Amino acid sequence: MKIIINELKTEAIIGCYDYERNQKQPLVISLKLELGRWNYPDELVHTVNYAELCQLVQELTQVSKFLLLESLAHYLVDELFTRYPQIKHIDIDISKPDVCDALGCLAQVEYSQARAYKIALALGSNLNNPQHQLISAIEFLSEIVSEIKVAPFYKSSPQGFSEQDDFYNTCISGVTTLEPQELLIALKKIEKRMGKSEQFTNGPRIIDLDIILFENQVVQGLFLQIPHPRMHERDFVLQPLAEIEPDWVHPKIQISISELLAKLQPNQQFILQQVM
């Protein structure tokens, strides 16, 4: 579902030249707002109030004093994402009519950005050179996750079925534009791409990719639960995660990762050694 607002008139102090810093200039702004899949009730709370949004854009521009249209565009997109969680993607065009008229052409700035989400993922492997599998998985994840931070690797004892090799575990954090269900599907595709074929629960596997945290969201679905329901009971998740995101607060328990790690009981500690 897209909402399109064409040629919203406003004004701002904008420009690099001295004469542009003394008085406001007219601006024309067009917006395309993507709200994602539309399966909500016919109620205003589930969409964007167009009049309110237009007024907000006018107010934000009128008090701004950027040198560049590019900076103003980026600022407006960030503000709209912050104030309207329904918006998933924004295209914005900004032009200065006075400059366009003077030059006899249409000059405008176009900027496009999808909403980005901070996430944490847990990775595990105990087959076919597990350390190499973790590194390969991170390379594949870089296709859908940016600004990746990688925790050290840890070797841990297997859980549930002891007659198998030790596991190698790590966590990453980063930013994605995928929604939770889309991210789950992407992770399953990477697992399949890497040859995962789990024969029984808690058995050996070439790779495991689990969503641990997704912003501060709580997701309860048939195939997806966020935060991961057992993350706070596992040192092979909490220890690497605490290395890169110690202050991230568990959205259900309301305790930071470092505090959860400190509260672990002896029967919840499975790490044998740090390996990287």
- Alpha-carbon distance 228 to 131, whole Å? 23
DSSP 88-152: -EEEEEEE-HHHHHHHTS--EEEEEEE--EEEEEEEEE-SSSHHHHHHHHHHHHTTT-EEEEEPP
Q: Which residues pair with 77 in a beta bridge?
A: none
Q: How confident is the model at residue 54 (pLDDT cuts 50, 70, 90)?
A: very high
Q: How high does pLDDT run on average in the chain?
A: 89
- Alpha-carbon distance 134 to 125, whole Å? 7
Please report the domains of the chain, with CATH numbers, ordered by start residue.
2-114 (3.30.1130.10), 117-274 (3.30.70.560)
Rounded to whole angstroms, what are the CA distances from 113 to 2, 71, 121, 239? 14, 13, 23, 34
Q: What is the pLDDT of residue 93?
A: 95
Give me the residue label for tokens 């004469």.
19
Q: How confident is the model at residue 101 (pLDDT cuts 50, 70, 90)?
A: low
Q: What are phi and psi of 31, to 5 degrees?
A: -130, 140
Alpha carbon 14 to chain centroid distance? 31
Q: What is the pLDDT of residue 276?
A: 64
pLDDT tens digits, 199-247: 656 668 899 999 999 999 999 888 899 999 889 888 899 999 999 999 9
Q: How confident is the model at residue 31 (pLDDT cuts 50, 70, 90)?
A: very high
Q: How confident is the model at residue 74 (pLDDT cuts 50, 70, 90)?
A: very high
pLDDT tens digits, 7-17: 999 999 998 88
Q: Mean pLDDT, to the nearest integer, of 66-74?
A: 94
- Alpha-carbon distance 251 to 180, whole Å? 15
pLDDT tens digits, 148-179: 999 999 998 877 666 677 889 999 999 999 99
Q: What are phi and psi of 106, to 5 degrees?
A: -100, 110
SS (H, E, C) 196-248: CCCCCCCCCCCCEEEEEEECCCCEECCCCEECCCCHHHCHHHHHHHHHHCCCC
pTM higher than 0.75: yes
